[in-house]
Amino acid sequence: MEKDFSVIDYEVQDNIAVIVVKNPPVNALSFSVRAGLLHFLMKAEKSKEVCGIIIACEGRTFIAGADISEFGRKPQEPDLPELLDYLDRTKKPVLAEMHGTALGGGLELALCCNYRIASKNARFGLPEVNLGLIPGAGGTQRLPRLIGIEKSLAMVTSGSPVGSTDAYKCGLVDQLSGENLRCDSLNFIKDIIETESVHPSISLKTKPIVNDEETQTILKTYRSQVRKRKRGFIAPEYNIRSIQASLELEFRDGLKFERKLFDELMEGEQSKAQQYLFFAERQANKIPDLDSKIKPVDIQKVVVIGGGLMGGGIAMCMANAGISVTIIESSKKFLDRCWKNITANYQNTQKKGRLSQEQVKNRLCLIDVSLEFEKVSDADLVIEAVFENMQLKKDIFRRVGKLAKKNAILASNTSALDLNTLSESSGRPQDVIGLHFFSPANVMRLLEVVRAQKTSVSVIYTCMKLAKIIKKIPVLVGVCPGFVGNRILFARQEQAMRLAMQGIDIERIDRLIYEFGFPMGPFQTADLIGLDLGWEKAFTNENLLVDKFCEVGRFGQKNLSGFYDYDASRKATKSELSEKLIEDFAESKGIPKRDYTDDEILDQCLLPMINEGVKIREENVVTRNSDIDVVYAHGFGWPAYRGGPMHFGRTLGSDKVLKKINYYSQFFKDRFWQTSHDFRNILDEK
């Protein structure tokens, strides 16, 4: 293939070769960048005029890593290790000039340079673990040799970047730049050339890293941490193993070992699923057919109606992003409770050291609480977050529709009610949208942005942009009962109840779902959500198992009795009463007992989820299958290393999944097992 060097600029200034990567948006190390860098490094190395080299980037960031979109394809040479090997052996001093985010292969490249300079707001990380990988171009061998084992372990196992102050303190960068990064780089390298005859190279560090008892304890601590926090993920342990190799192996052998682990992970299903989710998350931001002329509205003032747990959490999201917010409540008692909850929440975060006193103060200053409904009139965005009662919400929308200023966005946080009906009651349905936050709203990253029939594209666009500002992962969905997340969850919960009624032990079902990778099983989930959600004594349903639990006052964790019994610390134990309730109910419905293998139980819980996902896609509730997977991975505990229900189903094979669903549909004659005619085509969609 003809080499294209247009992604690199090369110029020589005062005997310094300045090599600039310009591969927007994030200067990923695509084939043309690798080839160009190698070409110009060789040119600089050979040039008699050049005494030193700077590698820098144009645009918003230094190199943010290998080009993930090239993964899975046959690599084109030079590959990254080949390029970095050349860089490592360059005789002339090389300085990495970093701004923005130096990530993955980008940081690995910087570690091959003799020196590193960075702007004050730069960030540095090895986030490969988030893609189910380890750094594959020397990161796990060079980083510990530079900054030690403990910090390296923290970086590779969390995947989180460190800021420039930390990076400077630990020696990851040699100098922080003031106002003019390029000018500082040129001065830095010129000084170095004048004062130093030998330039440091991490690969030539002969002093071994201390491998003493303390180091072994650190390794042990990280191992046990990732086992708990990243249960089921393979990559965190591989990262630790590779860092450990830097203690035990000579540098070049360490590189080979790292590469072997990297290749192994790259071939595996977990990394494929996590890479898929990386792009799925970014795809979810894209609204089809968006008119490029539309500009998002600047949201500066938000009003939240309802200061319960949800409303308070939503207000905190806004304040955390620097947006001023007013919470409106109907009584002083509720307002006081709301304020107390919010302050306690912030104080807890402060106690854990995640926020300073100053930050807490600033955030609280942005939150106002009020009894005056009229305050909606100067808001750019009004979010209704009162409890799920259609009449109450309709009344609120009627009032807000009249009071809110022109072009203000009117949002509902409803999780269950018909948004089309609500939007009509406002008298300005084009301004109405659903913003379905998940509890706790200030923590959970998923946001279902619900488009009603008449919602304007500009309102949707603004809300998708706002979601990013408040650090949420937005997914645009249409109106249907339960939207995407709850609708699919309902399908699994229904079938789990059915299994229990056929005599399958609920602990066994919960264990299997937990072992699949969910944080908890269906019955633990039901107890946590509350069995009385939507239940009213006067309208108890004799066809629902959960209603039988409510009738005897078993509401779940909230009153320490549901499918399980709970002690004061909410530790669950088996409940004989619960078993009896299930058995009696099954008997009254004439449900025969059956036994199933573990695989059959898992199939019965998971297949209805995939099936429901296909129907959701068929009804155009979402734009693409991957949107469903983003909802599931970020809001409903589907293990990221399995990609989400649609990815999982497609990987199993649409034929196989359909065959199994058809098999079970002989026994269960209801909508959860009825499939779309187009099932295979829909599930196979990429």
Among 38, 44, 64, 297, binds ligand 3H9 (CB under 6 A): 64
Calpha distance 278→329 (Å, rounded): 39
69 binds ligand 3H9 (CB under 6 A): yes
**E strand residue ranges, 321-468:** 324-328, 367-370, 381-384, 409-412, 432-437, 446-451
Among 36, 52, 65, 306, binds ligand 3H9 (CB under 6 A): 65
Calpha distance 332→369 (Å, rounded): 10
Tokens 């998708």 belong to residue: 464
Please count the residues of this chain forming the interface with ligand 3H9, following the rule CB under 6 A.
Answer: 24
Calpha distance 368→326 (Å, rounded): 5
282 binds ligand 3H9 (CB under 6 A): yes
Q: SS3 string of 536-593? A: CHHHCCCCCHHHHHHHCCCCEHHHCECCCEECCCCCEECCHHHHHHHHHHHHHCCCCC
| Dihedral pair phi/psi, residue 261, rounded to 5° | -65, -40
Q: Which CB atom, from 258 or from 494, has the smaller least distance to ligand 3H9?
A: 258
- Piece of 129-137, 565-573, 619-627, 628-636 that binds ligand 3H9 (CB under 6 A): 129-137
Q: For ligand 3H9, what does the binding mask look like between residues 251 and 280, x meaning CB under 6 A? A: ----------------------------x-
Tell me which residue of 602, 336, 294 sits closest to 465, measured CA to CA. Answer: 294
Residue 208 DSSP label: P
- Piece of 60-68, 189-197, 474-482, 588-596 that binds ligand 3H9 (CB under 6 A): 60-68
Structural contact between residues 350 and 357, judged by C-beta atoms closer than 8 angstroms: yes
**Least CB distance to ligand 3H9 at residue 447 (A):** 15
Q: For ligand 3H9, what does the binding mask look like between residues 2 and 41, x meaning CB under 6 A? A: -----------------------xx-x-------------
Calpha distance 366→470 (Å, rounded): 14
Calpha distance 143→255 (Å, rounded): 12
**Rg of the chain's alpha carbons, rounded to an integer?**
28
**Least CB distance to ligand 3H9 at residue 117 (A):** 20
Residue 108 is a catalytic residue: yes
- Piece of 61-69, 203-211, 404-412, 452-460 that binds ligand 3H9 (CB under 6 A): 61-69
Residue 128 is a catalytic residue: yes
67 binds ligand 3H9 (CB under 6 A): yes
Determine how many CB atoms are found less than 10 A away from the CB of residue 420: 15
Among 131, 385, 500, 661, binds ligand 3H9 (CB under 6 A): 131
Q: For ligand 3H9, what does the binding mask look like between residues 71 and 110, x meaning CB under 6 A? A: ---------x--------------------x-xxx--x--
Catalytic residue among 49, 70, 82, 108: 108
Tell me which residue of 110, 99, 93 sits closest to 29, measured CA to CA. Answer: 110
Q: Which CB atom, from 5 or from 278, has the smaller least distance to ligand 3H9?
A: 278
What tokens appear for 441 in the block?
A: 């709203």
132 binds ligand 3H9 (CB under 6 A): no
- Piece of 64-72, 489-497, 509-517, 622-630 that binds ligand 3H9 (CB under 6 A): 64-72
List residues binding ligand 3H9 (CB under 6 A): 25-26, 28, 64-69, 80, 101, 103-105, 108, 127-128, 131, 135-137, 139, 279, 282
Active site residues: 108, 128
